């Protein structure tokens, strides 16, 4: 098992390397002079030369690459062109809110969606199943910002249960964090509840038709035990896959929600960086997103063998 | 042959089914699946319910367990009494209380009947946790004791094993331990040995009998295998299309069947006495296999691993118009040999010569032209035909690939349908519109459409009912006679081998232990393994088709030809 995990960790290195090469080339090979892009329209030739020098653009491509990789491995992601502060530091500040919201969203989604899916499968083709599936279609089709504004209207403006916008870290008090994080998390959760519930239902429907479920019933096992002990674990692999992918998507896809709820996370950082053509920040964002995807996939793969003993590597 | 002959008329009635009707849910007007059956099972009795697929025997047993799939089937009238408790009107929780405690069930597929992600010990213990107040340590002790009773070796290790780590026989023992741990009054066994090898089957049948003896359990045993019935039954009930055809004590049913259908069933049971070998269509051999080796795995990146030797040094020849049977239990390597000869897998070493061409080492591309010489019919006709293709498309695909014009391929397909006894208009239908036997006929027609020199049949009749099995075997015989094709018949069933093979090759763990004319090998086996196989065949001393015992003299005279 340990050997397997080690192998999987080692296997992520080439993937990350390819991403790094891509990110490096993104800036160097885009048409036009990177320095000109970086400096903007109003730059003087002297300014351009200074930027070229600072970025090492006068060196051969390979030298540039190794310099850049060297910096990357030391955790140096460069300096933001906009704020002139370290990109690594900026990301560090912004990652906290995004991660916390993402974790809360995925927790809410799993807690709601898995029981929903299980019950829908158990009561296949009844009104319960129909209700869950209708909700699922709704969750898919209503845009995130609409749900966000509706939730704000009801819970923040009408009922005044929670603040409209803003973010407080959990370290500043869980209540303060929770009351501000709950609406954005619920907003984001709708689509994931829909997705996970659907996957759980489909996977459970298949498993509930298996012989060992009949065996469990034949030995007089209670129905909830049949569902959650016998069936759900067997149905787990596709559900885990969708949860893992969902979590990774969440972190890279929080742009709209962070704008609506005014949360200082990486989503807004990305938007700002793109609008300002802040290339070092954009590069760092791509690297970070790819890293999160690779890491979450690794986690999901390793967790399979925990749920299904037949999976051995 | 010795039958059971104990009288149960004074024993307590454990299960009493009266005028039971089961039909499609919400459609009381439709033809019922179970049409007014009566069934009485007494304490200590083994009651066999026999019939072909679709006769309703499994539905009857599920109804007794209260496990009918509600969305599809429902009890429409009649009663099922377990002692003095009415099952048809029981609530969910009453039924749950009853299961495992009063009435338990074991199923056909020990692989799929156990939960793959839970340890087998926990699965047995769960029964105790659900139905008793035993502490965890007491429950575990009781579980280990029960595992010991069903003769599982090394119970402490097996307790924490997962199902996929056990053999089929061990898994079925786990199922039996699970079913009997609370000492129920009635055990329902639904084809519990059908998926097992003959020697394992014998052990499991003995185990069920032993447990029954010890606990006085009544057993409702569902099977299609008359051999098994002859070995274990006290009473037999024959079912057909949801109705009871005949019921009698075992000796009476086998010696003096009253109803036509029962006689048909008994006549269809293939005889263990080998038939005389037939003349070859030509003297030169069409298939020559020499020194065939197949090793799976092996290689390895840094350290050279051993690999699994699935077949070692297998050699044989087949003449046109003759049939060679490869028999053996699961894991003997018989299917590996078939696949290596078909080049569905690449043999590790050895030579395979078919119709004058050495094919063992041909590349995939070179092989393509030779594929038409070799055709295969698989075990499961439900999965070997493309469900989205019409029969015509399945039959024509091969010939068209080899350059036959479409119109001619279609004409030939129509002829083939006649050959396999199916209507011509069936060409436009899809596989799901046919029964299992008809589908296997289509699969045979598909193979024959290529005019092969060698036809490989990999357990081709194992999934079929005996009467259908007999028809398909006749069809294969007929085809062989007409086209002079050589046939390689892979089977685990010695009765089937005796009916169709001219020569037999017995395999055990990848090695050929005996090879010779069917008459020799099956009537005078030289190797212990062959002898064990033959002795394990249930009901081997009974000549079902003639309602009489099979004396050993008859066995040998049949073998001299």
Q: Is the pLDDT of residue A40 over 80?
A: no
Per-residue model confidence (pLDDT) at position A81: 72
Contacts of A307 in chain B (CB under 8 A): 117
Residue A45, classified by CB atoms within 10 Å of its CB into exposed (0-12), middle (13-18) or buried (19+), is: exposed
Residue B316 lies in a domain: yes
Q: Please state the φ and ψ torsions of residue A22, each to the nearest 5 degrees.
A: -60, -45
Q: Which pLDDT band holds residue B149 (cuts at 50, 70, 90)?
A: very high
Q: Is the pLDDT of residue B168 over 90?
A: no
Residues B243 and B322 reside in one and the same domain: no
What share of chain A in percent tops pLDDT 90?
Answer: 26
Measured between alpha carbons, how far is B156 from B120 in angstroms, rounded to an integer? 11
Residue B325 lies in a domain: yes
Q: Give CA angle at B63 (B62, B66), nearest 5°.
A: 90
Per-residue model confidence (pLDDT) at position B560: 36
Residues B261 and B318 reside in one and the same domain: no
Residue B451, classified by CB atoms within 10 Å of its CB into exposed (0-12), middle (13-18) or buried (19+), is: middle
Which two structure tokens, joined as six digits, stand for B251?
Answer: 């000796």
Q: Does B302 touch chain A (CB under 8 A)?
A: no
Contacts of B179 in chain A (CB under 8 A): 219
Q: Is the pLDDT of residue A117 over 70?
A: yes
Contact B236, B258 (CB under 8 A): no
Residues B1 and B58 reside in one and the same domain: yes
Q: Is the pLDDT of residue B558 over 80?
A: no
Contact B458, B490 (CB under 8 A): yes
Partner-chain contact B126 A210, CB within 8 Å: no
Average pLDDT, chain B: 89
Cα dihedral across residues A227, A233, A235, A240: positive or negative: positive
Please state the rounded mean pLDDT for residues B230-252: 94
Residues B500 and B550 reside in one and the same domain: yes
DSSP β-bridge partners for residue B312: B511
The DSSP annotation for B115-166 comes to -TTS-HHHHHHHHHHHH----HHHHHHHHHHHHHHTT-SSHHHHHT--GGGS
Distance from CA of A136 to the nearest CA of B (A): 24
Residues B263 and B339 reside in one and the same domain: no
ipTM over 0.95: no
Measured between alpha carbons, how far is B188 from B14 in angstroms, rounded to an integer? 12
Higher pLDDT, B258 or B54: B258
Per-residue model confidence (pLDDT) at position B399: 92
Q: What is the pTM of this model?
A: 0.81
Residue B59 CB partners (closer than 8 Å, separation 6+): B22, B33, B34, B68, B73
3-state class of B356 per DSSP?
coil
Where do the H-state alpha helices sit in B298-359? Answer: 334-342
Please state the rounded mean pLDDT for residues B245-268: 93
Residue B425 lies in a domain: no
How far from chain centre, in Å, is Cα B298? 32
Partner-chain contact B179 A219, CB within 8 Å: yes
Residue B241: how many other CB atoms lie within 10 Å: 16
Contacts of B107 in chain A (CB under 8 A): 211, 214-215, 218
Residues B262 and B310 reside in one and the same domain: no
Residues B226 and B371 reside in one and the same domain: no
Q: Where do the domains of chain A lie, and which CATH numbers do they carry? A: 31-73 (no CATH), 94-276 (1.10.3720.10)
Taking the C-alpha atoms of B448, B452, B455 and B460 in order, what is their torsion angle to the nearest 10 degrees? -20
Distance from CA of B472 to the nearest CA of A (A): 30
Q: Which pLDDT band holds residue B249 (cuts at 50, 70, 90)?
A: very high
Per-residue model confidence (pLDDT) at position B49: 95
Contacts of B116 in chain A (CB under 8 A): 212, 234, 308-310
Where do the H-state alpha helices sit in B286-350? Answer: 334-342
DSSP β-bridge partners for residue B85: B82
Taking the C-alpha atoms of B60, B64, B69 and B70 in order, what is their torsion angle to the nearest 10 degrees? 110
Of A245-249, B175-179, B521-525, give the range with the top mean pLDDT.
Answer: B175-179
Q: Is the pLDDT of residue A142 over 80?
A: yes
Contacts of B301 in chain A (CB under 8 A): none
Per-residue model confidence (pLDDT) at position A31: 62
The CATH number assigned to the domain holding B355 equals: 3.40.50.300
Residue B156 lies in a domain: no
Residues B370 and B478 reside in one and the same domain: yes
Where do the H-state alpha helices sit in B160-279? Answer: 168-180, 198-215, 226-232, 250-255, 260-267
Contact B124, B143 (CB under 8 A): yes
Distance from CA of A226 to the nearest CA of B (A): 11
Measured between alpha carbons, how far is B489 from B470 in angstroms, rounded to an integer? 15
Half-sphere exposure of B10 (CA within 13 A, CB side): 2
Q: Which of B126, B162, B175 sits opposite A221 (nearest CB)?
A: B126
Per-residue model confidence (pLDDT) at position A313: 54
Q: Is the pLDDT of residue A306 over 50?
A: yes
Per-residue model confidence (pLDDT) at position B300: 53
Contacts of A212 in chain B (CB under 8 A): 112-116
Distance from CA of A234 to the nearest CA of B (A): 7
Contact A184, A152 (CB under 8 A): no
Contacts of A221 in chain B (CB under 8 A): 96, 126, 130
Residue B398 lies in a domain: no
Per-residue model confidence (pLDDT) at position A294: 85
Q: Which pLDDT band holds residue B557 (cuts at 50, 70, 90)?
A: very low
CB contacts < 8 A, A to B, total: 75
Residues B346 and B463 reside in one and the same domain: yes
Q: Is the pLDDT of residue B301 over 60?
A: no
What share of chain B in percent tops pLDDT 70?
Answer: 96
Partner-chain contact B162 A309, CB within 8 Å: yes
Q: Is the pLDDT of residue B346 over 50?
A: yes
Per-residue model confidence (pLDDT) at position A301: 82
Distance from CA of B174 to the nearest CA of A (A): 12
Residues B257 and B336 reside in one and the same domain: no
Q: Is the pLDDT of residue B535 over 60?
A: yes
Please state the rounded mean pLDDT for residues A161-175: 86
Residue B516 lies in a domain: yes
Q: Which pLDDT band holds residue B561 (cuts at 50, 70, 90)?
A: very low
Partner-chain contact B115 A230, CB within 8 Å: yes
Contacts of B96 in chain A (CB under 8 A): 220-222
3-state class of B23 per DSSP?
strand
* Number of domains present in the structure of chain B: 2
Residues B234 and B330 reside in one and the same domain: no
Residues B234 and B365 reside in one and the same domain: no
Range(s) of the domain holding residue B65: 1-98+218-267
Average pLDDT, chain A: 85
Which two structure tokens, joined as six digits, stand for B533?
Answer: 């196989």
Measured between alpha carbons, how far is B21 from A94 in angstroms, rounded to an integer? 69
Partner-chain contact B130 A308, CB within 8 Å: no
Partner-chain contact B112 A218, CB within 8 Å: no
Q: Which pLDDT band holds residue B172 (cuts at 50, 70, 90)?
A: very high
Half-sphere exposure of B303 (CA within 13 A, CB side): 2
Give the helix/strand (H/E) hosting B469.
Answer: helix B466-483
Per-residue model confidence (pLDDT) at position A64: 81
């Amino acid at each position: 098992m340990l050997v397997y995990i080690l192998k999987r960790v080692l296997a992520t290195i080439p993937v990350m390397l390819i991403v790094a090469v891509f990110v490096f080339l993104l800036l160097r090979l885009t048409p036009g002079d990177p320095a000109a892009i970086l400096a903007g329209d109003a730059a003087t030739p002297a300014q351009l030369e200074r930027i070229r020098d600072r970025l090492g653009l006068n060196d051969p491509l390979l030298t540039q690459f190794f310099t850049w990789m060297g910096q990357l491995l030391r955790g140096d992601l460069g300096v933001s062109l906009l704020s002139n502060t370290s990109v690594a530091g900026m990301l560090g500040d912004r990652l906290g809110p995004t991660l916390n919201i993402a974790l809360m969203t995925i927790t809410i989604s799993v807690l709601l969606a898995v029981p929903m899916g299980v019950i829908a499968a158990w009561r296949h083709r009844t009104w319960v199943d129909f209700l869950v599936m209708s909700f699922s279609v709704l969750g898919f089709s209503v845009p995130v910002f609409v749900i966000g504004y509706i939730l704000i209207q009801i819970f923040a403006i009408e009922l005044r249960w929670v603040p409209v916008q803003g973010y407080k870290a959990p370290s500043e008090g869980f209540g303060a964090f929770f009351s501000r994080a709950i609406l954005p998390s619920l907003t984001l959760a709708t689509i994931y509840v829909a997705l996970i519930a659907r996957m759980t239902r489909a996977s459970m429907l298949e498993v509930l038709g298996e012989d060992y479920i009949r065996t469990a019933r034949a030995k007089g096992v209670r129905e909830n035990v049949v569902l959650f002990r016998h069936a759900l674990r067997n149905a787990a692999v596709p559900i885990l896959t969708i949860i893992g992918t969902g979590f990774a998507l969440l972190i890279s896809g929080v742009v709209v929600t962070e704008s609506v709820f005014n949360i200082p996370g990486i989503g807004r950082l990305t938007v700002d960086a793109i609008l300002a053509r802040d290339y070092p920040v954009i590069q760092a964002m791509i690297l970070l997103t790819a890293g999160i995807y690779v890491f979450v996939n690794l986690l999901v793969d390793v967790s399979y063998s925990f749920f299904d003993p037949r999976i051995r590597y | 042959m010795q039958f059971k002959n104990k009288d149960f008329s004074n024993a307590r009635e454990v299960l009493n089914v009266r005028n039971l009707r089961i039909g499609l849910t919400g459609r009381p007007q439709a033809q019922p699946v179970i049409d007014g059956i009566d069934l009485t099972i007494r304490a200590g009795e083994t009651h066999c319910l026999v019939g072909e697929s679709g006769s309703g025997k499994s539905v009857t047993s599920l109804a007794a367990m209260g496990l009918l799939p509600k969305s599809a089937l429902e009890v429409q009238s009649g009663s099922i009494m377990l002692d003095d408790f009415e099952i048809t009107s029981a609530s969910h929780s009453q039924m749950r209380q009853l299961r495992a405690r009063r009435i338990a069930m074991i199923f056909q597929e020990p692989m799929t009947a156990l939960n793959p992600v839970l340890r087998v010990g926990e699965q047995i213990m769960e029964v105790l946790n659900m139905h008793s107040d035993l502490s965890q340590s007491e429950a575990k002790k009781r579980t280990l004791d029960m595992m010991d009773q069903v003769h599982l070796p090394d119970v402490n290790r097996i307790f924490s094993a997962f199902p996929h780590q056990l053999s089929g026989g061990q898994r079925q023992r786990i199922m039996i331990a699970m079913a009997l741990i609370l000492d129920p009054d009635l055990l329902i066994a639904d084809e519990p040995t059908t998926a097992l090898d003959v020697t394992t089957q014998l052990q499991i049948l003995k185990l069920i009998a032993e447990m029954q003896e010890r606990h006085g359990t009544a057993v409702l045993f569902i099977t299609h295998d008359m051999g098994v019935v002859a070995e274990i039954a006290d009473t037999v009930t024959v079912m057909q299309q949801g109705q009871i055809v005949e019921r009698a004590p075992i000796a009476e049913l086998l010696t003096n069947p009253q109803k036509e259908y029962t006689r048909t069933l008994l006549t269809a049971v293939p005889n263990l006495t080998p038939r005389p070998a037939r003349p070859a269509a030509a003297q030169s051999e069409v298939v020559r296999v020499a020194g065939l080796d197949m090793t799976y795995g092996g290689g390895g990146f840094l350290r050279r691993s051993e690999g699994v030797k699935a077949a070692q040094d297998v050699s044989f020849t087949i003449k046109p118009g003759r049939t060679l049977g490869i028999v053996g239990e699961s894991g003997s390597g018989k299917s590996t040999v078939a696949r290596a000869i078909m080049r569905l897998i690449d043999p590790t070493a050895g030579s395979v010569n078919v119709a004058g061409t050495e094919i063992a080492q041909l590349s995939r591309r070179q092989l393509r032209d030779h594929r038409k010489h070799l055709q295969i019919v698989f075990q499961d006709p439900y999965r070997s035909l493309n469900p989205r293709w019409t029969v015509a498309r399945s039959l024509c695909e091969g010939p068209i690939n080899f350059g036959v014009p479409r119109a001619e391929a279609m004409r030939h397909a129509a002829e083939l349908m006649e050959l396999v006894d199916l209507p011509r208009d069936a060409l436009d239908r899809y596989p799901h519109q046919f029964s299992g036997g008809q589908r296997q006929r289509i699969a045979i027609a598909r193979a024959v459409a290529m005019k092969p020199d060698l036809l490989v049949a990999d357990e081709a009749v194992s999934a079929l009912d005996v009467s259908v099995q007999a028809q398909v075997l006749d069809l294969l015989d007929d085809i062989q006679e007409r086209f002079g094709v050589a046939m390689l018949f892979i089977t685990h069933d010695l009765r089937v081998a005796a009916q169709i093979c001219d020569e037999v090759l017995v395999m055990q763990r990848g090695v050929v232990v005996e090879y010779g004319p069917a008459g020799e090998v099956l009537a005078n086996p030289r190797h212990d393994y062959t002898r064990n196989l033959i002795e394990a065949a249930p009901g081997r001393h009974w000549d079902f088709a003639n309602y009489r015992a099979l004396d050993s003299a008859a066995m040998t005279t049949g073998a001299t030809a």
